[in-house]
Amino acid sequence: MIFHRIDKENWARKPYFEHYFNLKCTFSVTANIDITALIEQIQHKGMKFYPTFIYMVSKTINAHPAFRTCFNDEGVLGYWEQMIPSYTIFHPDDKSFSSIWTEFSEEFHIFYRYVREDMKHYADMKGLFTKEKVPPNSFPISCLPWVSFNGFNLNIHNGGDYLLPIVTGGRYVKEENKTLLPISIQVHHAVCDGYHASLFIQEMQQLADDCHKWLS
């Protein structure tokens, strides 16, 4: 895992970073994406939606340094060469959840297989973090398949130095002839603006529209 240090003194974003970091300013954007074609494709192929969703989120996050910018374990500001998804799995028997992670691959079918293997292996292991040695270059993904929300927000009181995005998906619903998926992305304004959050939503929609290309 490669961590690129940011020379803050020569960084064009420095004044924005310092302003919003001092304010501890975070924000979230929630939007529906049209996954009509995507659902049809994965159902036809007998595939699962959640691993597919995790791939789409991870691919979009990895496409932009703004989403990979954070402090490393030594408190140095920079960005990771690649991010790894840390995602939640649900335990139906006691209604608890665990967070596990999977190495990312740009190749969808490879990543999909890895996620399915991890989900199966850790399905009956209870605890918050059941897959040990969580990589420092991981970011959180969660899912609320029970509700189709219009907004979602997490409040993290850790001094305001958590800079990575937090992505949450909801229950997809049918409206007229479309299947819509609510997605929320929460970011720190020190490293991301409304433009970046909007770009995330737009590129998730583009992946859904072009699913026949990367699912084949």
Question: Active-site positions?
Answer: 189
Of 109, 50, 120, the C-alpha closest to 85 is 50
Question: How far apart are alpha carbons 20 and 69 in whole angstroms?
Answer: 14
Strands 173-175 and 138-144 come out as unpaired
Question: How far apart are alpha carbons 70 and 3 in whole angstroms?
Answer: 10
Which residue type occupies 177? Answer: N
Q: Position of tokens 């009956």?
A: 124
90 strand-pairing partners: 97
Question: How far apart are alpha carbons 140 and 23 in whole angstroms?
Answer: 23
Strands 166-170 and 138-144 come out as parallel
Q: Position of tokens 């009181």?
A: 157
